[in-house]
């Protein structure tokens, strides 16, 4: 599998370390970028010339702007329509999962406490979503067919 970028939005130091270790072991070719707050996501994704990640791994419960609001804001941006958003959370609340899917999340995955299982879940997530080629949506008014 080729090199690609995964953007991880996570406020917990322990989870950042665990995610970095798990992805580093199972997918050493994958580049991982961490953001520590939901408010950092849209500026990062919409910055001029920004590389878009293959997928965004998003914590749900963060101080300030949480994962659900991040999903809503990203999905409101036409240029980011093809971005894969995977919620990776410790919440097992079905209502939260339903709200994430309704807002446009592609997947909702529970973070296991056991590190071996945590690593397995992340490996399977990247195996699945890493094979899904991102959809490129041109900005409005930008068309190759224009004369």
pLDDT at residue number 132 = 57
- What is the widest separation between alpha-carbon atoms in the chain? 58
- Return all residues near 81 (Cβ < 8 A) that are at least 6 apart: 75, 135, 137
Contact 57, 6 (CB under 8 A): yes
pLDDT at residue number 136 = 47
Two tokens, residue 92: 């097992």
Given 3.40.50.2300, 3.40.50.970, 3.40.30.10, 3.40.630.10, which CATH number is that of 5-134? 3.40.50.2300
pLDDT at residue number 48 = 93
Contact 12, 59 (CB under 8 A): yes
**10-residue stretch averages of pLDDT, the chain, 147 residues long:** 86 94 93 96 95 94 92 95 93 93 95 88 90 52 43
pLDDT at residue number 145 = 42
Cα distance between residue 56 and residue 144, in whole Å: 28
pLDDT at residue number 2 = 60
Contact 100, 78 (CB under 8 A): no
In the sheet with 84-89, reading across from the earlier edge strand, the strands are 31-35, 5-9, 55-58, 84-89, 107-110
pLDDT at residue number 143 = 44
Cα distance between residue 139 and residue 136, in whole Å: 9
């Amino acid at each position: 599998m080729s090199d690609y970028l995964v953007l991880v939005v996570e406020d917990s130091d322990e989870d950042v370390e665990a995610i970095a270790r798990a992805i580093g072991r199972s997918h050493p070719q994958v580049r991982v970028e961490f953001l520590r707050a939901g408010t950092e996501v849209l500026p990062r994704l919409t910055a001029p010339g920004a590389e878009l990640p293959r997928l965004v791994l998003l914590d749900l419960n963060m101080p300030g702007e949480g994962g659900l609001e991040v999903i809503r804001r990203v999905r409101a941006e036409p240029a980011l329509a093809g971005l894969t958003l995977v919620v990776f959370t410790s919440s097992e609340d079905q209502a939260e999962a339903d709200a994430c899917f309704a807002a446009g999340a592609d997947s909702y995955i529970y973070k296991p406490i056991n590190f071996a299982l945590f690593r397995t879940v992340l490996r399977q997530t990247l195996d699945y979503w890493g094979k899904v080629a991102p959809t490129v949506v041109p900005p409005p008014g930008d068309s190759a067919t224009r004369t």
